[in-house]
Amino acid sequence: MAPEPADIPRRPSFLREFLANPIATAAIAPSSPQLATAMLRGVDIASLRTIVEFGPGTGIFTRAVLQALRAAGNTGATVIALELNQRMAAALAADLEAGANNADDPAPRVEILNANALDIDRILAERGLPHADFILSGLGWPSIPAKVRDAILEKTAAALPQGRQFRTFGYHIGLTLPGAWGFRRTVRRLFSRVEISPVVWRNIPPAFVYTCTT
């Protein structure tokens, strides 16, 4: 049963959550639909069974994934989104439940968890899932401590079989930040191929997509 409007948690503001905890919420604005499109461009959506998302925030990428799965007729897929910010996780879960289709309209299964990306191995194991088929991330890598960042990326690579993809994005204005350099060094060490998309200018700030293939 969908929650009554009064039961739906107030949608958090990215800026407010960033100011309260810049580590847990490493963005001041949600990603644009154009960036969401770039994040999924060329992905073989129909072949995916288990999709994991880090840092869904307000759910821009989550909704794009669900829409793409429905369009591909892939209603048997499972989407697991791990959001460290408790308020954002609760608000997104409530929003998706409130907007869910009825039981007669098959839809991919989606699970919004208030959890750390570091727990991806445990979360997959608890669900009897040997691996993820695709991982995407909205995490702000330059703001994450290097040891934590590298641990997340190592677990990400380990959770994907050979030939599968991890996609994330970086801000154009942050290319020269030490954290961005460290991120690129780590993904190039862990993945067999790392590609960078053209800049998506219709995003605040402008951003580009990393496609990292195992």
Please tell me the predicted confidence (pLDDT) of residue 27: 58
Taken in order of first residue, the domains within the chain and their CATH numbers are: 33-213 (3.40.50.150)
Please tell me the predicted confidence (pLDDT) of residue 39: 99
Please tell me the predicted confidence (pLDDT) of residue 13: 56
Q: Which residues contact 123 (CB under 8 A, 6 or more apart)?
A: 80, 82, 113, 115
Please tell me the predicted confidence (pLDDT) of residue 176: 81
Judge if the upstream peptide bond of residue 205 is cis by omega within 30 degrees of 0: yes
Nearest to 138 by CA among 20, 15, 28, 13: 28
Structure-token pair, residue 160: 């994907």
pTM of the model as a whole: 0.86
Sign of CA dihedral 156, 118, 81, 91: negative
CA gap 204, 124 in Å, rounded: 33
Please tell me the predicted confidence (pLDDT) of residue 3: 42
Residues of the chain below pLDDT 70:
1-28, 101-105
Please tell me the predicted confidence (pLDDT) of residue 104: 57
Torsion angle of the four alpha carbons 41, 44, 46, 47, in this order, in degrees rounded to the nearest 10: -150
Nearest to 11 by CA among 63, 57, 65, 64: 57
Question: What angle, 0 to 180 degrees and rounded to 10, lies between the N-to-C axes of helices 178-190 and 146-158?
Answer: 30
